[in-house]
Structure 1
Amino acid sequence: MSLDIKLKKASKVYKDGDVVKGVLEVTSKGDLSHNGVTLTMEGVVTLQLSAKSVGVFEAFYNSLKPIQLVSYSIDLVKPGKFPHGTTEVPFELPLKAKGGKKLYETYHGVFVNIMYSLKAEMKRSILNKDLQKVSEFIVEYVESERGEEKPVEFTVTPQSLENVKDRARIPDFLVTGTIQTVNCSITKPFLGEVIVERSEAIIRSIELQLVRVETCGCAEGYARDPTEIQNIQLADGDVCRGMKIPIYMVFPRLFTCPSLSTSSFKVEFEINIVVIFQDDHLVTENFPIKLTRAIS
């Protein structure tokens, strides 16, 4: 015997206010007695602290309770029997936030997780194990007008670097470039270019890092943790001087979301352009970016 939740939308992508439609598929060999089937829609933000923050913020470690965005349950089938074979039970559930709040986009992070799911549960007699099936679906914002493009031109030299202990050991170099915009649409690629104007040291690699910065906390304090999402190599080896190296990166689904700031957590994003020299010395230029779900 088995339960399966099949949504009408193959993409499983919904927006605030949509009706989530589908069928619960019950398969059994022979008649299947049960004490009722319930269907629950849940949307939850779960927060946790990194290991390095636990001791420092012990005061509010236990206050990071899950934030309930959606909680809705219906009795889908009354107690009775399912016949031999496969039975489909249709359902419709409105996707609405509790208390008139706004639904956040689905996001799978390290210290912040925003997840929406449907859970079907079939109650059975004491001697038989209850059956459960959980199916995740995705929530996205309604597209809005795209914000103003903010192109950024950058220049990286030994003198422009911060937090350098021994500047004399850094080889002479000049790296310039352009980022098309730091106001980014999550559905469009991140674009730009980087140029090595000069470098007395041999370059081994030029890379682009996408970093999420997750902040959790409350009145007692906040823990801010950056983690890398993906790393793309833009150039391999000692590149030609003065040549334009294109930057092209697609934002990964689920691991990114529109930039989000609330009273108890934040999800922000940054871009690092990293130049690695042959002696493993590396220099990094950091750019905070804002992600939106905007029309191109």
Structure 2
Amino acid sequence: MAVNLDIQLKRSNKVYRESDTIAGVVIIDTPTDVKHEGVFMTIEGAVDLQISTQNVGAFDAFYNSVKPVQLMMCSLEIARAGRFPCGVTEIPFEAPVTPLLNKVLYESYHGVFINIQYLLKAVIKRNFLNKDIHKTLEFVIENKPCLNMLSSKVDKFVINQNTLANVNDSSNIPKFHIVGSIDSVICSIMRPFTGELKIEHSDIPIKSIDVQLVRVETCGCSEGFSKDEFEVNISVIFVDDHLVTENFPITLYR
């Protein structure tokens, strides 16, 4: 006898901001009458570290000492113990999107090392002869748009064989000279990222120039840290396949 449990939100995009009300229905579909011990909903958010095959070993020194940080927690009893009739039963719920005391609702984020995740968890409690029935649904938290727009900050740059970081011997790198500017290193995610670049000299032809937006994470504690912030990378590949890269930290805001 299969009992199907589902969660549907009123907002189809599942995007919320602090002080909004999250509302929807829990849907129970059962082929026969079913006795239950109550239906409960938990709305929670947390910042957590995660290990994958890509980063295992990168922060083993402090992974076990860092526990998930709870940002939001709300528990609701949305149906008391009783019976569900044969067919579909819909149970409405709603709750304010509010952080725990002295906490901040950071934007939803799925990274290499860090997860900021917000979940709805519904459970139908059953007696000891039957397993509880669970359903989880992720929703998204966004920051409110910044009303006081941050002032732009132009960043002019020069890239040549002498400016490259992490290069011990530049003698093998073709001589070149590139100048340019980033129109603003304080960037709204709602606006295009713009700038200009000029190749003033290169000993050999250049095969390609790439501009990459990179999400970098810094994660750590007293035992150590692992860095993998937002930055823009300009990568130059010469015809002999030499690759040179320059990094420019930027600040993003909504």
- Change in CA separation of 1:211 and 1:221 when aligned onto 2, cut-off 3 Å: farther
Which residue matches 2:175? Answer: 172
1:81: how far off?
1.3
State the TM-score, normalized to the length of structure 2: 0.91
Indicate if the aligned counterparts of 2:59 and 2:224 stay in contact, CA closer than 8 A: no
Which residue matches 1:249? Answer: none
After TM superposition, where is structure 1 displaced by more than 4 Å over at least 4 residues in a row? none
* Aligned 1:140-179 pairs, distance under 5 A: 140-144=142-146, 145-179=148-182
C-alpha distance in 2 between matches for 1:134 and 1:7: 12
Root-mean-square deviation over aligned CA pairs: 1.7
Which residue matches 1:262? Answer: none
> What is the one-letter code of the residue matched to 2:48?
T
Indicate if the aligned counterparts of 1:40 and 1:71 stay in contact, CA closer than 8 A: yes
> What is the one-letter code of the residue matched to 2:243?
L
> What is the one-letter code of the residue matched to 2:194?
L
Q: Percent identity?
A: 48
State the TM-score, normalized to the length of structure 1: 0.79
> What is the one-letter code of the residue matched to 1:30?
T
Q: Which structure 2 residue ranges, 5 or more long, are not aligned?
A: none
Which residue matches 1:25? Answer: 27
1:106: how far off?
0.6
1:167: how far off?
2.1
C-alpha distance in 1 between matches for 2:184 and 2:224: 29
Which residue matches 1:51? Answer: 56
C-alpha distance in 2 between matches for 1:33 and 1:52: 48
Partner deviation per Cα, 1:238-269 (whole Å, 9 max, x = no partner): xxxxxxxxxxxxxxxxxxxxxxxxxxxxxx21
Indicate if the aligned counterparts of 2:59 and 2:225 stay in contact, CA closer than 8 A: no
2:244 matches 1:276: no
Q: Which structure 1 residue ranges, 5 or more long, are not aligned?
A: 227-267
2:197 matches 1:194: yes
Indicate if the aligned counterparts of 1:215 and 1:222 stay in contact, CA closer than 8 A: no
C-alpha distance in 2 between matches for 1:164 and 1:47: 32
C-alpha distance in 2 between matches for 1:43 and 1:210: 27
Partner deviation per Cα, 1:195-244 (whole Å, 9 max, x = no partner): 323322222221122222222233x2441321xxxxxxxxxxxxxxxxxx
C-alpha distance in 2 between matches for 1:288 and 1:203: 25
